[in-house]
């Protein structure tokens, strides 16, 4: 029996896209020859010692889920550890961590909302103080200001302890906004509160108020009324980065000289009825968009997407184009290009290895595609991204 090195993956109680985060870790673990042992909850020093004695791990990833919980790196001793979605400001400067680029997510949301035709803009933060919510607030306010737009920020955080009081304050806020308004919510859970407030304040979504959240939590976004548009972070890439950083830490030990702080960006906006004024919502198009978001970087073809529509390929392409303004292939290419740029920006793997993560058969195909889309080679683009 071949013995595999084991890494511990401490999984937070926050289940937002947990499978994608873990999937990214497992993708890299398979190439490193690791066994990933998931452990629910964050560790206490006593529990960590017992787990180390039991598994004899070579390293650990501590996934904090963007919560307010902080974990001390000191309790891990000499065990290589990477913190995933932990508040960077609460960690020592020499700690290894991977966090979501919430400012980039806010900029993506701002671009989407500015296309809505709204004349006013707003942001609703998370009810409790969170570092990622504050970053999103600064990001969206800055992006809108750059384009000559003001942004109203909901100030009813103080009522969060009382759900009834919080919802009442949110209804008043939504009712007072100049219409038509485009609103960015800190995450999908906050966005559902906004949609509820709009319903009771008799504010029509998306005609009077366009709403977009963050996380693309399918169980939330597909079951709100109307369905909720959301910015989807590249959680799988986050898991990959955490595992790649851990691999480098294990390999180099004290000789490690690279960046100890890494970020992963948003993957794409997932448009649904809360921001799109469609003559009629098309469930087949929504399903196609979801499939593309999940599988575009895994060899997905336009033919496979169109084949899932209950009509001819030509009619399916027409329905998709009518709803989104572009073709199925364009949508696939957008996701693939965004992933390639994100990988290049991070600079954690050689260019020749990127094709495996972007849905291309070989590095040459990706090189030609990237040059055609951007007018630059991947090396040129990476150099420009690093200089910014």
Q: What is the mean pLDDT of the chain?
A: 89
Q: What is the pTM of this model?
A: 0.73
Query: Comparing 102-233 with 279-381, is the CATH topology the same?
Result: no
Q: At what angle do helices 328-346 and 313-324 cross, to 10 degrees?
A: 60
Q: What is the pLDDT of residues 89-104, one digit of tens each?
A: 889 888 999 999 999 9
191, HSE (Cβ side, Cα atoms, 13 Å): 34
Instruction: Tell me the average pLDDT across 107-118.
Output: 88
Q: Which of 144-148, 298-302, 323-327, 364-368 has the lowest mean pLDDT?
A: 323-327
The helix (run of H) or strand (run of E) holding residue 124 is strand 120-124
What pLDDT is attached to residue 280? 47
Q: Which of 80-89, 125-134, 180-189, 256-265 has the lowest mean pLDDT?
A: 256-265
What CA–CA distance (Å, rounded) separates 244 from 8? 14
- Rounded to a whole number, what is the largest CA-CA distance in the chain? 68
Give me 250's structure tokens. 């294990």
Check if the beta carbon of residue 162 is closer than 8 Å to that of residue 132. no
CATH T-level fold of 279-381: Arc Repressor Mutant, subunit A (1.10.10)
At 10 the three-state DSSP class reads: strand
Q: What is the pLDDT of residues 135-171, one digit of tens each?
A: 999 999 999 999 999 999 999 877 677 889 999 999 9
For the domain spanning 5-100+234-266, the CATH number is 3.40.50.2300
Q: Give the pairing type, strands 97-100 and 120-124.
A: unpaired
Q: Give the residue extent of every domain in the chain.
A: 5-100+234-266, 102-233, 279-381
Q: What is the pLDDT of residues 229-252, one digit of tens each?
A: 999 999 999 999 999 999 999 998
Options 3.40.50.1100, 3.10.250.10, 3.40.50.2300, 3.40.50.720; CATH for 102-233 is: 3.40.50.2300
Beta carbons within 8 Å of 300's beta carbon, 6+ residues apart = 291, 292, 332, 359
């Amino acid at each position: 029996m071949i013995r595999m090195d084991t890494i511990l993956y401490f999984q937070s109680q926050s289940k937002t896209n947990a499978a994608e985060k873990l999937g990214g870790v497992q993708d890299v673990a398979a190439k490193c020859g690791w066994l990933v042992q998931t452990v629910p909850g964050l560790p206490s020093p006593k529990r960590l010692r017992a787990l180390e004695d039991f598994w004899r791990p070579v390293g650990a990833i501590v996934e904090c889920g963007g919560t307010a919980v902080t974990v001390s790196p000191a309790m891990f001793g000499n065990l290589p550890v990477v913190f995933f979605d932990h508040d960077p400001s609460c960690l020592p400067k020499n700690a290894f961590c991977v966090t979501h680029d919430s400012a980039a997510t806010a900029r993506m949301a701002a671009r989407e909302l500015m296309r809505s035709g709204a004349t006013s803009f707003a942001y609703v933060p998370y009810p409790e103080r969170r570092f990622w919510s504050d970053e999103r607030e600064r990001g969206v306010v800055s992006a809108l200001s750059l384009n000559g737009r003001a942004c109203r920020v909901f100030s009813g955080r103080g009522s969060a302890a009382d759900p009834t009081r919080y919802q009442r304050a949110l209804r008043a806020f939504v009712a007072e906004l100049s219409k038509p308004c485009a609103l960015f919510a800190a995450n999908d859970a906050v966005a559902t509160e906004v949609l509820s407030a709009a319903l009771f304040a008799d504010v029509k979504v998306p005609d009077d108020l366009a709403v977009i959240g963050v996380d693309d939590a399918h169980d939330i976004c597909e079951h709100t009324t109307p369905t909720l548009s959301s910015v989807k972070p590249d959680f799988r890439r986050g898991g990959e980065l955490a595992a790649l950083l851990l691999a480098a830490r294990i390999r180099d030990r004290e000789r490690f000289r690279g960046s100890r702080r890494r970020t992963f960006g948003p993957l794409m906006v997932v448009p649904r009825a809360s921001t799109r004024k469609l003559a009629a919502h098309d469930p087949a198009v929504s399903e196609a968009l979801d499939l593309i978001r999940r599988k575009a970087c895994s060899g997905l073809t336009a033919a496979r997407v169109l084949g899932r529509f209950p009509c001819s390929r030509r009619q399916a392409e027409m329905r998709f184009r009518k709803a989104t303004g572009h073709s199925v292939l364009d949508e696939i290419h957008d996701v693939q290009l965004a992933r390639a740029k994100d990988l290049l920006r991070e600079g954690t793997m050689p260019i020749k290895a990127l094709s495996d993560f972007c849905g291309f058969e070989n590095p040459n195909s990706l090189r030609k595609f990237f040059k055609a889309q951007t007018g630059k080679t991947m090396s040129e683009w990476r150099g420009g991204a690093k200089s910014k």
